[in-house]
Chains A and B, each alone.
Chain A
Amino acid sequence: MEITVTVNGTACRRDIEPRLLLIHFLRDELRLTGSHWGCDTSNCGACVVWLDEIPVKSCTVLAAMADGHRVRTVEGLEQRGQLDPVQEGFAQCHGLQCGFCTPGMMMTARWLLDHHPDPSAEQIREAISGQICRCTGYENIVRSIQWASKHPSGSAAGAGEVPS
């Protein structure tokens, strides 16, 4: 079947099998490999992307279900060459080690901050409770998201530059 999905603002038309999962559509058909394919059982959250305005686990959504809809992936966080404050927060606060869970964590974080600009640590932990990180113990992820909430426009000077 032929589907058209608007991914990060670009309409993408592909001929797919109806059984194709959204995560594989993004990674294999569109070569957007930022979203990670993890547990395959909707437990780990490495595959979280936005379907329209809602974070979903894309290993448990068919690409066909996204036909005619918008998808936003981690590649769509950066705007006009500027990192999203969430991305900057993860860089500033060492919010990742291996990076596998990071794209999903950041998509959920962006959604959380859009709806709750100043979340408590508890709200952050609840928001990411369906996502697994095996490196950080979550502490730095929470700090990263808090950093982003305190810097809604990114860092004052040199926004988007990854600190050395």
Chain B
Amino acid sequence: MQVPAHVEYERATSVEHALSLLARFGPEARILAGGHSLIPMMKLRLAQPETLIDINDLSELARLGVVDGQLRIGAMVRHAQLLDHAEAGELFAILHDAERVIADPIVRNWGTIGGSVCQADPSEDLSATFAALQATMVIRGPDGERTVPARDFHTGPYETVVRPGEILTEIRVALQPRAGSYRRGSAYQKVGRRVGDWPVGAAGAALWLSDGVVAEAGIGLSAVGARHFSAVEAEDYLRGAPASAQTFARAGQLAAEHCRPSSDQRGPADYKRHLASELTIRALDLALRRARAADPGAS
């Protein structure tokens, strides 16, 4: 029987209240969102916080929608809520691709977007997704709000830049990477052994196109030891290149060359490296097909 260690429990009524509770209870306090990463860690005694600060009542963190040219996803948005959100899926199909293969429907009912990225598991699907989308993380602390690029959010396995006393409040994705209007397409491809499992390997791609040329590209990789969950060499290569099978094949090769998968019970390193290449290519192909099908510059 797995039972968490003794812990105190506080329920926050607002973000400001949560911040004051974090300040009062110090660095051994932990934010409790859906709990679907933290509670299993507490059962295994890998996490032993002294105090839990429950933020499930904070509807201000559960907002989801487009504001000022950005898709804004509150940290308390639950996986099922994002998957059910038609506009989010139309804007960035990668979000729905990824959500469909995260855990299982019941876990998705309660687990949160903010909780997933703050858990910072090296095999996390949304971390690769937000890396591909070049998202921005919004963090609030006693001194106010700061923003951090998604790619700078993780400092290592299970570690993020969120400091004691701070809360991740929102994730923002710009609809257009810069002024102008580009055809946009995105996709996520994951190979897993069974429903609910972590990926053996996964890749996400986001493309912004202008006249068949890649204006901007984002490639996210999960579970294959990619630095910052991304493939910057492949992205650099794609920028300004024609969106074609040949360039995508080369991008896949570059993504595979620069990641550092390790062999474990989910598969050997060379297989994972193969997946990094193949899934990058497939994600780019699907992103391109979606971009071609989309209205140019819609939204």
* Residues of chain A having any CB pair with chain B under 8 Å: 1, 17-19, 21, 40-43, 45, 48, 51, 54-57, 60-62, 64-65, 67, 108, 126-127, 129-131
Contacts and interface: CB of A to CB of B under 8 A. Distances in A.
B196 A65 contact: no
Interface string B137-178: 000000000000000000000000000000000000000000
Contacts of B5: 19
Contact of B107 (A19, A21, A57): A57
A40 B106 contact: no
Most buried by B among A42, A43, A55: A42
B3 interface: yes
B193 to A, nearest CB: 13
Contact of B3 (A19, A55, A131): A19
Contacts of B107: 42, 57, 60, 130
Interface stretch (B36-44, B213-221, B223-231, B234-242): B36-44
A72 B27 CA distance: 36
Contacts of A48: 106
25 contacts: A1-B9, A17-B6, A18-B7, A18-B8, A18-B52, A19-B5, A21-B3, A40-B1, A40-B43, A42-B40, A54-B109, A56-B109, A57-B106, A60-B35, A60-B40, A61-B39, A62-B32, A62-B35, A65-B32, A65-B35, A129-B104, A129-B196, A130-B103, A130-B106, A130-B107
A56 B1 contact: no
A69 to B, nearest CB: 9
B105 A51 contact: no
A51 B107 CA distance: 13
B221 to A, nearest CB: 25
A131 B6 contact: no
Given A56-B110, A60-B107, A62-B32, 15 more contacts: A18-B7, A18-B9, A19-B5, A19-B42, A45-B106, A54-B109, A54-B110, A55-B109, A57-B107, A61-B110, A108-B106, A129-B196, A130-B104, A130-B107, A131-B104
B195 A130 contact: yes
Contacts of B39: 21, 60-62
Most buried by A among B2, B5, B9: B9
Contacts of B103: 130
Contacts, number: 77
Interface string B34-64: 0110011011000000001010100000000
Interface in B182-227: 195-196
Contact of A43 (B56, B105, B196): B196
B82 to A, nearest CB: 15
Interface in B95-117: 103-107, 109-110
B89 interface: no
B164 to A, nearest CB: 20
Given A19-B6, A41-B40, A130-B107, A61 B35 contact: yes
A51 B110 contact: yes
A60 B35 CA distance: 7
Contacts of B2: 40-41
A60 B41 CA distance: 10
B202 to A, nearest CB: 18
B239 to A, nearest CB: 38
A108 B105 CA distance: 10
A46 B99 CA distance: 23
B105 A127 contact: yes
Contact of B195 (A56, A61, A129): A129
A97 B145 CA distance: 55
Nearest to B80: A54
Contacts of A57: 106-107, 110
A42 B36 contact: yes
B9 A62 contact: yes
A51 B110 CA distance: 9
A38 to B, nearest CB: 12
Given A18-B9, A131-B106, A65 B54 contact: yes
